Structure formats: structure tokens, C-alpha cells
Structure 1
Amino acid sequence: MKKIVLAGGSGFIGKFLKEKFQQEGHEVVVISRSKPGITWADKQGIHDALEDADLLINLAGKSVDCRYNEENKREILHSRIGTTKILGDAIKTCLHPPKLWINASTATIYRHAEDRPMTEDNGEIGEGFSVEVAKKWEQSFFRFSFEKTRQVALRMAIVLGPGGGVFTPYKYLAKFGLGGKQGSGSQMFSWIHVEDVYRIIRFIEANHQLSGVFNCSSPYPISNNYLMKTIRSKLNRSVGLPVPRPLLELGAIFIRTETELVLKSRWVIPERLQKAGFTFKYPTIEQTIDDIVREELNVQYS
């Protein structure tokens, strides 16, 4: 049995990871904004959780699914940098610190790319608020250096999976006849199945030579147009009205989010993972959506 600490473990990804680790018989300790679990204000509790831990996974951070006003911008940034610093400072006080610290990052760190894919070695860092958050997040993480704790930053693409996450709004758009391309539809969509996130974490944990930055994404990114076409097909919806950019921008105001989430072209390839020998369980969007639809049907009729 291993001791695994999940910081920011109350969200969609965190809940999935917690269940998987517990199914394997491991002890899972959650750090989050509120109880149950250890809160970020509990410095001693965080130290005790990290002492003798085998693995620390930090997913903490305010959701970017909001309007980028000044208050939300401050919270998005602070919720990532602040929690990373708390964990790093706590590790420094441990006699037996975690063997591996995996910190979430984001594939949004790369520029809008419709011309070529971005890898860890040749990817070009972009500009704008989201990119600055990603850069400062990684800087705050790698500012720490430990003799006994290996560090990995996962630049996560859009995470898809059954029971929640980003797939849910796409699903409802398709069901209500609005599942056409968004904007031009040519923007690239990089994603990762939530179970492959778990499998990547286990792969990195088992391969002690791996450290640094890894793109956490499927090896087969697709265009937004192909994504929406596939979702319609899997949900048996023949009609999907396209949503032009002006309408997206108007809708984003009403639902209090930003169009960047669907209009930025994220073309990311997990080159380091592939070279290390990792194999994906859900490499294609068809396999991913098939699994989500099947699992959600099983829950619905169970």
C-alpha cells in the first residue's frame, strides 16, 4: 500500500484519480479548499500528509471556465502559484519527503497553432493571460529543487471522461442541434482521456529516470470541425448548426466564460511520453467518445 497525496483532489480529475488509487488499495490523502480533507490553511496537516508519502499530485487551481475580469484573473493565478509554493515549502520540512511530485500545468502554454504541432522540445510558447499563468505556474514549481523528490510538470490538454468534465457541454450542444463547428472549425483540438491521465501518472512513477516537462495529450489531435462531427455521429445526431465566432462571443458573455476555451488552436503532441515507451489506451477521439457514451449509459441504466 502506498501513501498518495492529492492536492486539489475534489474536482473531476481528482475524484477519478482518488477512486482509481483507492481501488488499488492505496491510502489517499486529499488537500482542498474545504473539509473533509486537509485545508490549505492547515500547515501542520499538510506537512504530516507529505511526510513518508510515495506520491504527491497537485491539481489545485481555480477553474478557467469563467470571465477573465481582474478578480478572476488574480484568483486563477494565485490559486496555482500559492498552492504550489505551500507544497514546496512543506516538502522542505519533511525528513522523508514524497518520492515524486507531479504538478499540473497546461498545454495552453503553447501558441495558437494551425501550422504545425507543438512538442516539449520544439513547441513555441504563446502570449496572453492564460500563457502567462502557465509560465508562472511552472516557474513556481521548478523554483524548488530537492535531492529526494523527483519533479514532473504535466502540460495537460483538455481532459475528457465519463460523468463530467469538458465533454458534458459538448454533448448538450449536439443534443440540442448546435453541434456544428465552432468558429472556423479549423482550430486544432488536443485532448486526453482521464484514464490515460491516470496511466501516465503511473508510468512516470514507475520510470524513475523521467523528470521535467511532459505534454499530457493524445497523440492524434483533431480539428474542431472533426471533433463536433464525431460527437454528432456517436450521439446519433445528424444535424448540427455551426456557431460563428460573433455568436460564440455573445454566448460566452451570457454563460460567463471565455471563447478562448474553444477558439484557441491547441495542437500538442506527447513526444516525450512516446519516446519513453508509453502506450495510450484511448489514442483516438472515436475510442474516447465511445468509452464516455458507453460508461454514461451504464450509469444511467444501472
Structure 2
Amino acid sequence: MSKKVVLAGGSGFLGASLADYLDAKGYEVVILTRGSAKVNGNITYLQWDGESLGEWAQEIDGSYAVVNFTGKSVNCIYTKKNREEIISSRIQSVKVLIEAIEQSQQPPQAFVQAGSLAIFGDTQDLCDEKSPIGTGFSVDVCKLWEEEFFKDDLHTTRQVLLRIGFALGKDGGALEPLKKLVSLNLGGTVGSGKQYISWLHIDDLNQMFLTAIENESYSGIYNATGPTPVTNKEFMSTLRKVMGKGWTPPAPSPFVWLGAYLFLQTEPSLALTGRNCIPKKLEESGFNFQYTNLEIALKDLV
């Protein structure tokens, strides 16, 4: 009988990628989604609202692990309403999943939470897991999120939080809009170009999740990113090279602000800020990265 992993909020880009990865490894995968209940191949989708107990909680009981991806996308303009939803969607999902785990007769042996490197704020200083956190709205969100996740000791269930970096994959995710810009000859340096991108290949991220699920020594917080962060200037230059495009004029900060608000309907700080993070704890645990060279990673994906 295959082991069951429940992916809460797993219908997005990262969750769907992990679902396929786990399915290929022989796991039974159940995705909790706000969409319709359905079965797609070997993957089962069940409805939940991300904040209250329901029939879905039966899937937690007897499962091998739970992975939580739930949270309103930060790719929006930070209005008061959006800020409240960004915070509440993260906090409420953690609360109700912990409630479901605590009431289980056979609780999962691991609860893995998808977090964010945004907790370090906007910094060019090298950051590992012990580095000081930053300031600003995104930092406050991450701080509240992590506090909620580790507030209760789940005794028989390991708690692992992966602070995820700039995950690069095919047909979606963070790379897709940048590819479009480059294809339109608009893929120049964004802002100063000095802001760091802590990137990782989706294959490495999926392996990180699998390791966190299976390896009983994993517990606490890990920076889920590659070991070779680059500046925005380096990243865009490498992407243009891989896509066969030449030099492109840079996009000064005022234009980024204007374009973000008027055309992309998103927060300009997402493009103009960055952090220089390394996966120190993963490296110390012996994690083996498939992709440490940005050009090779992009060639695989583009």
C-alpha cells in the first residue's frame, strides 16, 4: 500500500509540480483545493476552504505527511484588503491543519510548511538560517506565519519549514513573466540590478520537499534555495543569453513602479528588492543539488 501525502493548497504551480513528483515516486497524493473535487490520474482533489474543518480532515488521519502551500498570492497590489487576505490565508490554513493533525488517531509523521525567504527583507548581505530578519510588510507576514506554524509542539509529527527562494520551472511560476519580457526585447536589468535573486531549479525544490518528508533528522527551518545566488543584472543577462537575445535597455526604477501598478497590477517592490540567501542547513545535512549553475538550469527550462 502506497504512503499518502496531503498537499494543502497544492493546485498552484509549486504544489502541482510536487504532486507529479511524488506520484512518480509511488506516493498516493491528495490535493486540498478551493476548486472542484475530482480525480486526475493518480491524484485526488478534495474541496476545502483553508480555514475550517470538514470531511477533508479524514485524509490527514493515517497520512504519511502533510505539505502546506496555502496562501493568497503576493503577486498583487498591496491594498488594505489584499494585505489582510495575504496574512489571514496563511495563518488560518496553518491553524486548521494543526487542528486536523491533533485530532487524528494516526497523525502524519511530518508536517512541511512552504515559507519564504522574504523574511530577510531587502538585503545584499549574505543570509543563512541564523541571519537577522528584515523589515517591511513581507517580513511581518513571514514572521507571523512562522510563529503560527511553530506555536504548538505536535509531539509525534515533525515540523519542517522551507523558506523558498526564486523557484525556476517550466510553464509557470516566477520564470514565466521574465521569459515574456525577454521575448519582447524588454528583458533588461530591473532597477539598479544590484538586488539579489536567490534562485533554485524546481527539481531541486521537489527533492527538498521529499527529503523533508522522508528524512527523520529534518526539523525546524531551512533556506530552500540554491547555493549560488546572483544579482538581477546577472540573472537577466544569463536569461537573454540562453534565449538568444542581445543587450536590452535597463528598466529604471520609476518605470518599474509605473509598469507594475498600471499594467501588471502588482507590487513593484517584488521586482526591485531581493535577498542574498544560501541553504546552509541543507548543505550541512549533505543535500545534493542537481543545479548550481544558472545558465545550465535555464537551458534545461527554457
Task: Report if aligned partners of 1:47, 1:93 keep a CA contact under 8 Å in 2.
Answer: no
Partner of 1:76: 86
* Equivalent residue in structure 2 for 1:194, among 198, 202, 213: 202
What is the deviation of 1:42? 6.4
SS at match of 2:276: coil
TM-score normalised per structure 1 = 0.94
Note the 1:230-241 alignment, pairs <5 A: 230-241=238-249
Confirm whether residue 57 of structure 1 aligns to residue 57 of structure 2: no
Structure 1 Cα separation of the partners of residues 145 and 293 of structure 2? 29
The answer to whether structure 1 residue 133 and structure 2 residue 134 are counterparts is no
- Mean Cα displacement is larger for which, 278-287 or 9-18? 278-287
Using the TM superposition, name which of 61-70 and 173-182 deviates more. Answer: 173-182
The residue aligned with 1:145 is 153
Residue in 1 that maps onto 2:165: 157
Structure 2 SS opposite 1:4 = strand
Partner of 2:107 in structure 1? Answer: 97
Cα-to-partner distance string for 1:101-130 (whole Å, 9 max, x where unaligned): 00011000003222x210002x12111111
Whose strand proportion is higher, 1 or 2?
A: 2
**2:128 is paired with a residue of what secondary structure?**
coil
Alignment-mate amino acid for residue 260 of structure 1: S
CA distance in 2, matches of 1:165, 1:109: 20
Percent identity, please: 36
Amino acid at match of 2:57: H
Residue among 122, 128, 137 paired with 1:119? 128
Does 2:294 match 1:285? yes
Aligned mate of 1:203, from 190, 211, 234: 211
Shift of 1:182: 0.5
Is the 1:106–1:155 Cα contact (8 Å) retained in structure 2? Answer: yes
Give the CA deviation at 1:158: 1.3
| Normalised TM-score (structure 2) | 0.94
Q: 1:180 aligns with which of 180, 185, 188?
A: 188
Give 2:86's aligned amino acid. I
Query: Shift of residue 52 of structure 1?
Result: 0.7
The equivalent position to 2:285 in structure 1, one of 273, 276, 292, is 276
**DSSP 3-state at the match of 1:267:** strand
Native 8 Å contact 1:218 1:284 kept in 2? no
Mapped to 1, the partners of 2:76 and 2:255 lie a distance apart of: 17
- 2:268 matched to 1:259? yes
- Report what 1:296 is aligned to: none
| AA of the residue aligned to 2:226 | S
Question: Post-superposition shift, 1:266?
Answer: 1.1
- Structure 1: 5+ residue stretches without partners: 294-302
- Give aligned pairs, total: 291
Q: Displacement of 1:38 after TM fit?
A: 2.7
**8 Å CA contact 1:46, 1:90 repeated in 2:** no
The partner residue of 2:251 within 226, 243, 250 is: 243
| CA distance in 2 between partners of 1:205 and 1:64 (Å) | 26
1:256-289 CA-to-partner distances (Å, cap 9, x unmatched) read 1011111112111000000000011112211221
Alignment match of 1:106 (pick from 102, 111, 116)? 116
Match of 2:43 in 1: none
Deviation at 1:45, TM superposition (A): 2.0
Gap regions ≥5 residues in structure 2? 38-45
Tell me how far apart the structure 2 counterparts of residues 206 and 2 of structure 1 sit (CA, whole Å). 11
Separation (CA, whole Å) in 2 of partners of 1:58 and 1:205: 12
User: Are 2:162 and 2:221, in contact at CA under 8 Å, matched by a contact in 1?
Assistant: yes
Aligned-partner Cα distance in 1 for 2:221–2:84: 25
